[in-house]
Structure 1
């Protein structure tokens, strides 16, 4: 934890936007250097132009690879594209448009030249594909999500509207690196003079009435604050307020690609993470001004929930409350619709699911796993411990298949309006019934070779029989919900668990741990988790 965490950014913390843009256009990647290759993580390709990790050549190559991929898949409909407020997003979108137009792809941009949140792109893709066209649409979102201002990001959403699976992203990344290595000779470019437009904001906001009970919110008269944290949702929140007549203040309507108004995150960096108390410090200063105060990251796929009585909620806590509320207030949802959670999310969700008589569907990290269930209604809610989630419309049909921080923020107001209690109060009721878990994520050092072994580790390779004084009841290397590899291991006892996964960007592995027996027991779990994993890795 940096000693400057939670303090306002200073001039020395801010990026030089002009220099960053210059680096985007002038620095040329060498794909023989691993850090300069195109690499798709769980949310696309990300990096800084200063590090020659996100530059014009990368975007030219990735876009051409997407063109070739969609052609091979028979995708001939329009491609919806939107970008967030990061400094590199606008130039990257311009580059992508030049490639798409040259390849005669029917590309659709925002009608008002506005920033476009991730959920609005997913919503647009699904709306087109539900309308009975002879072809299918897909999309690109230009965003590094909550990453620092120096970063850019680029992700592909196929016709199902959610994040592309690893087969697609691996093909796209490999082809992009081939194109760069070949000097980009096979990449077409043209002046993007004639592209179609679409009202992303108007279409998304008008449809929100089919997923959120605005009548209840308006009738309650609650005071709502929404902070876009300088991100793409800024004009969406104003439109939501005006469209539904809410007592809602857009707490910070300013957009600055340097994010000079932010407080620093836990490590002293500017990072637009609405689930981080340090990044949300200035927002928390206004918690007493509203019944519900929320935040979103730069592309609005994450949410942060602030209440007067509880401050910033832990994402796991809010997910549990949201699930308990939704599955008791959405009578048109299928009675057999499961509750989706990632393997590193809180066991409180398991206990809530059991009390509701609902099937729990536990999958590896990555929102892509929830896509099929959200589309067919067999999974009504999918959530990640990192404050990303989406759920079905009130009639039980699909809303978005990517994370939607806007609807999760609005749901907090609906919960407050309908129950008369804040989400924090409702979580306290859950802990009184099911116990009060303590949850934390820490990092441990690991070499690249050790990370590779951890990613392929089989649960049977763990010799330990006990964890922090309790018998181990499960050693998982595949997720219980879909039997997909978790890219690590999860070890479970009656009252605790830990999961270990290699970091995709640093020489560490992440240890997620939770205990229903208190903080001291959690620390025992964490210490023994390191020993167990180190033993399995031969450290």
Structure 2
């Protein structure tokens, strides 16, 4: 269901009161017995809102202490790289974290300019710190680093988030987040007993080191993007950082590599008053959403296209990307993933390891499967969540990891790991490289793929369910699906484990020759999500979605 105000400019009523959000961070104390107010790590950290007493000082004190204890047990003795995005709660939460970490004798590296730090920049800093003398990555050893990013990603302005990255540089695996969350919840009810150093004292401690994140990351970008091709072609790239942490990175990229990059909307405002409303009636800074990006698209269509050949976007912590092309608008993330894969694996990266694979989540488009098969690339399908790409990218099992929600990362041009977390900056730059090298923008290349592999229709819908039914998802087996056809085609597979790594999906996926759907429960709401795609027709997609709900309800005993 699309909200009536979706795509319309934000009004005063849509904006947060920054003072209220911040004061509630300090004043509201969570109830440890209320599940909605406890620490809970989803696919990428703990998220919540100070207004709902789910992201407050108590949570960050408890989580920071739990992380300090976890890293000590894990033998992590190097610095902890710490950064934040532009959400109103990120600044206060970062200060709280510093107070606790310094009290635990943890060396903390913060930005030397006091600037915002994108998620991929933290991942890059961890990995380069943990690189051995021979250039290989280290899992174990003395002095290894880890990190924290204070961000709720593209979530609304009311929200805060806190992500822990272990020595592998990407989202922590379930065993780590479960241990941290469990310990944090033990501490939550008596968080005031946790030792802290007052911020004014902690920030002056020798344990707090200044690190030039921006120069460190930008200076290395030439190892992953062909800037010579972009520069010589004269491709004009526009960038909308959506008021996020990448805002000050683009001018340095432009200067260092002699490009033609223009920052379309350089404002940083914790209310995000310049946004258009997303599909659900909320301000959400999603660069792949046609609703959230409508203000930008309208500006481009009103004459700003004369300055650019294509435009990229990043969300507040720059771990998501969006691509906007003339005469097309915002590209579907699935379509851009497929274009990137065909380009990168089709000869653009001769330095990549032979036989390295394409990583995709099981709810990403099957167009990717068809593209990968056409170029002879190994496909590695994993469950939802970028954490499943951390080890494959780290080891080089896959050279590219991408998910349907506009997250991706890929290896350096010489085949070494770049980041093991989503990087929204390099996909925008890659779009310029693709345009420079092929003479066609990504939307035009997608249209060529449609001609070769067929057009598909893709949609995600949310369906109400009960807590008991949500729990049943974990126990689903292929035998629970009694249907033999889907939208008139014989069912070819019923999956509860990912083919790429054998990990449990936490739900189920059903496929036919031209159709599929996948269903999994939400981690925060009493809904389950159905993802579906059809290469037959829009009507077939409607039928898939209708039958999918019936299949899932029967499997759950609804």
TM above 0.5, yes or no, is yes
**Structure-2 residue corresponding to 1:209:** 222
* Mapped partners of 1:207, 1:403: distance in 2: 17
CA distances 1:83-136 after superposition (whole Å, capped 9, x unpaired): 000000000000000001111101100010000000000000001001558310
**Structure-2 residue corresponding to 1:389:** 408
CA contact (8 A) 1:149 1:258 kept: yes
**Structure-2 residue corresponding to 1:166:** 174
- Runs of 4+ residues deviating >3 angstroms: 131-134, 186-191
**Structure-2 residue corresponding to 1:33:** 34
Query: Could you say what secondary structure the match of 2:116 adopts?
Result: coil
Query: Could you say what secondary structure the match of 2:413 adopts?
Result: coil
**Structure-1 residue corresponding to 2:352:** 333
**Structure-1 residue corresponding to 2:481:** 462
* Unmatched runs of 5 consecutive residues or more in structure 1: none
* Mapped partners of 2:248, 2:552: distance in 1: 47
**Structure-2 residue corresponding to 1:367:** 386
1:256 paired with 2:275, answer no
Q: Report how many residues are paired.
A: 539
1:309 to partner: Cα distance: 2.8
**Structure-1 residue corresponding to 2:297:** 284
Query: Could you say what secondary structure the match of 1:141 adopts?
Result: strand
CA contact (8 A) 2:287 2:322 kept: yes
CA distances 1:226-263 after superposition (whole Å, capped 9, x unpaired): 00000000001111111111111101111000001111
* Mapped partners of 1:478, 1:199: distance in 2: 42
Superposition map of 1:484-523 within 5 A: 484-523=503-542
Query: Could you say what secondary structure the match of 1:489 adopts?
Result: strand
**Structure-1 residue corresponding to 2:137:** none
- 1:150 alignment partner, one of 144, 148, 158: 158
Query: Could you say what secondary structure the match of 1:488 adopts?
Result: strand
Does 443-452 or 482-491 show the bigger shift? 443-452
Query: Could you say what secondary structure the match of 2:219 adopts?
Result: helix
Superposition map of 1:311-460 within 5 A: 311-328=329-346, 329-460=348-479
* Mapped partners of 1:309, 1:392: distance in 2: 31
Superposition map of 1:171-210 within 5 A: 171-190=179-198, 191-192=201-202, 193-194=204-205, 195-210=208-223
**Structure-1 residue corresponding to 2:138:** none
CA contact (8 A) 1:47 1:54 kept: yes
* Mapped partners of 1:234, 1:33: distance in 2: 38
**Structure-2 residue corresponding to 1:11:** 12
1:183 to partner: Cα distance: 4.4
* Mapped partners of 1:94, 1:131: distance in 2: 32
* Mapped partners of 1:21, 1:479: distance in 2: 41
CA contact (8 A) 1:362 1:482 kept: yes
Query: Could you say what secondary structure the match of 1:130 adopts?
Result: coil
1:209 to partner: Cα distance: 0.5
* Mapped partners of 2:459, 2:546: distance in 1: 12
Query: Could you say what secondary structure the match of 1:234 adopts?
Result: coil
**Structure-1 residue corresponding to 2:136:** none
CA distances 1:396-437 after superposition (whole Å, capped 9, x unpaired): 100000000000111000000000001011111111111111
CA contact (8 A) 1:61 1:184 kept: no
Does 379-388 or 183-192 show the bigger shift? 183-192
* Mapped partners of 1:112, 1:135: distance in 2: 25
- 2:314 alignment partner, one of 289, 296, 317: 296
Give the alignment's TM-score, normalised by structure 2.
0.95
**Structure-2 residue corresponding to 1:42:** 43
CA contact (8 A) 1:467 1:528 kept: yes
* Mapped partners of 1:131, 1:335: distance in 2: 22
Superposition map of 1:78-93 within 5 A: 78-93=79-94
Give the alignment's TM-score, normalised by structure 1.
0.99
1:181 to partner: Cα distance: 2.4
**Structure-1 residue corresponding to 2:144:** 136
CA contact (8 A) 2:517 2:531 kept: yes
* Unmatched runs of 5 consecutive residues or more in structure 2: 134-140
CA distances 1:259-287 after superposition (whole Å, capped 9, x unpaired): 01111101111000011000001111215
